Amino acid sequence: MRSERSAKGDRGGGMSEANDATAMSGMSFGRGPTVKTLALRIGSEPLGAKDETLPDSAIQILANDGVRSSAPLVNMGDASRAKVEIPNYGFYNASVTRKTVHGKFLDVQIAQAELLKGAMAHGGHSEHDPKLFKATMDDKAPFELIREHGPDEKLWTTIRSGEKASFLVRSYGSPVAGAHVTLVSQEGWRKTLTTDANGRAEFTVIRDYFPDWADFNRRHSGVFLVWAEKETPDAGVYDGHDYSATRYQASLSGRYYPSPADYESYGYGVGVVVFVTAFAGLSIWLFRQRRRKSFKEIVFNEKLA
């Protein structure tokens, strides 16, 4: 389960949503569909994000089979939470949108989350159905940011430090070229790229987890935040206010884990196997040689007699 936060950085506002740890309590064995709790947060860095409220709103959920649903965003004082049911295996696309007019701009902020109902169950159907492994994209969304899935992605694939993380920016199902995409790691490292003609921006997730060996946790997850921005000349009226341009911002978050190269060694592994095989083989050979003693007859030395 991921804690997902997204933010709009430079303009001091934005939306984010988090899938916090309490979501684990929504996961139980055999008691109905999986329920994830989403939290709305705002900020430009994962660790500094704060709770945000958005009254009278609902999370829109798109399943990988195209079924749409929604879940109310419940305001709890300074925070907003939504409980989302994800009954089937695969990836879901959840989003909530806020529109405001600032000066001549309509700011459309879309906070997104990629939800996964996955399984490590061995031998299950979910291991072999490729439809379940694809990212869920919304062709009706005016602006969306999607984490691109690799060809080998399954329901338990994780992003590791040092690996590529590729994102697609789309508008009504078509790629958006020239959008600015910024990725921020948990420790605050950030990079901004511009999408290519296919709407793609590819980052290398850096390693920023350097504990002492005794404190190292291979399951440690960092949270990355990524957002895409694009300005368009779309004009109109919103909520009684005129605007002459539209600024879109879509945000997404995810988790990344230490790279196996940080703690696994092929050299030592193969070395131990080879050493033990050789040592055991040599021991067996020496044992057999020692048992094969040559016959030594007693010789009477007449000269000494």
Partner 1 sequence: MKSSLDGMAPNWRQRLALPRGIRDAINGVDFNRFRFWLQIFFFVLLVYGGFTGLNLGNNLPTFSCGYNQNGRPGVCYLLPLQHQLAMPTKALLGYASLTILSGLFIFFLWFIVLNKGWCGFVCPLGTVQDWITDLRVNMGVRFTRYSQASFEALSWMKYVLLALMIVIPLGIGAGYFSHDLGAPYCMICPARLIIPTLALNFDQLVLDFSSPGKIVMTTLGAITTGLFLAGSFVKKRFWCFFCPMSAFHYLLSKSAFFRLIKDGDKCTRCGDCYTVCDLQIKEIADDVRNPQIMMDDCIVCLKCVAACPEQGALKATFAGLTVFESTEEGFIKRMEKGTRA
**For binding to partner 1 (CB under 8 A), which residues are involved?**
29-30, 121-125, 127-128, 213, 216-218, 258, 260, 263-266, 268-270, 272-277, 279-281, 284, 288
- Compute CA 96 distance to the chain's CA centroid, rounded to the nearest angstrom: 19
Residues 6+ apart with CB under 8 A from 274: none
Closest to 184 measured CA to CA, from 1, 14, 2, 5: 5
Nearest distance in Å: CB 199, partner 1:
31
Nearest distance in Å: CB 264, partner 1:
4
- Pick the closer one to partner 1 by CB: 67 or 121: 121
Nearest distance in Å: CB 261, partner 1:
10
- Pick the closer one to partner 1 by CB: 124 or 236: 124
CA dihedral 97, 179, 17, 151 (to 10 degrees): 120
Closest to 59 measured CA to CA, from 81, 76, 35, 42: 81
- Pick the closer one to partner 1 by CB: 9 or 26: 26
Nearest distance in Å: CB 87, partner 1:
19
- Pick the closer one to partner 1 by CB: 74 or 274: 274
- Pick the closer one to partner 1 by CB: 127 or 234: 127
Query: What single letter denotes the amino acid at residue 67?
Result: V
Give the separation between CA 201 and CA 179, rounded to whole angstroms.
9
CB-based contact 264:288 (threshold 8 Å): no
- Pick the closer one to partner 1 by CB: 288 or 293: 288
- Measure the N-to-C terminal CA separation of the chain; round to a whole number of Å: 92
Tokens found for residue 16: 């984010």
CB-based contact 203:162 (threshold 8 Å): no
Nearest distance in Å: CB 186, partner 1:
19
Nearest distance in Å: CB 277, partner 1:
4
